[in-house]
Amino acid sequence: MAQELKILIINGPNLNLLGKREPDVYGNQSFGDYFSKLQFQFKETELSYFQSNSEGDLITKIQDADGVFDGVVLNAAAYTHTSVGIGDAIAAVSVPVIEVHISNTFARESFRHQSYISKHATGIIVGFGLQSYELAIKSFL
């Protein structure tokens, strides 16, 4: 029997407000509700979830995932465009990281076109709403 994949989803700042914050951009579903649907959909995969508004906590979680998880799905949110440290953390670990964004960042303000993560990520998925997470998980299967 094949070993169950372990995938960690990491969400950055303000993503704890999904369902309330800018529903025209991010939708009206909470991530907790969506995560339950992902767990049901990917029953053969061990999914874990972490969210923080603090850059250092996100970096530590990425570092701690190395050698423990088979993949990381990362939505660093606003830190995508500002955090050299998160990019460096991804470069320092061997666990593959898929960068995801709910909105199409390239259709938004120009400062959102820059990512300090993309260079180090295994792949990037943007603009498919919450389905971006599903597509990222499928990339590990």
CATH number at residue 16: 3.40.50.9100
- What are the residue numbers of the active site? 26, 101
pLDDT score for 42:
97
Buried b (16+ CB within 10 A) or exposed e, 12-25: bbebbebeeeeeee
pLDDT score for 100:
97
pLDDT digits (tens, 9 = 90+) for 98-122: 999 998 775 566 755 579 999 999 9
Per the structure block, which two tokens stand in for 65?
């995932």
Binding-site residues sit at: 75, 81, 88, 102-103, 112
pLDDT digits (tens, 9 = 90+) for 24-77: 766 678 999 999 999 999 999 999 999 999 999 999 999 999 999 999 999 999
57: containing domain:
5-139
Please choose, from the candidates 87, 71, 66, 77, the residue with its C-alpha nearest in 3D space to the C-alpha of residue 137.
Answer: 71
pLDDT score for 1:
46
Q: Is the pLDDT assigned to residue 15 strictly greater than 50?
A: yes
Binding-site residues for substrate sit at: 75, 81, 88, 102-103, 112
Q: Report the number of distinct structural domains present in the chain.
A: 1
Note the pTM of the prediction, 2 decimals: 0.91
- pLDDT band for position 20 (50/70/90)? confident
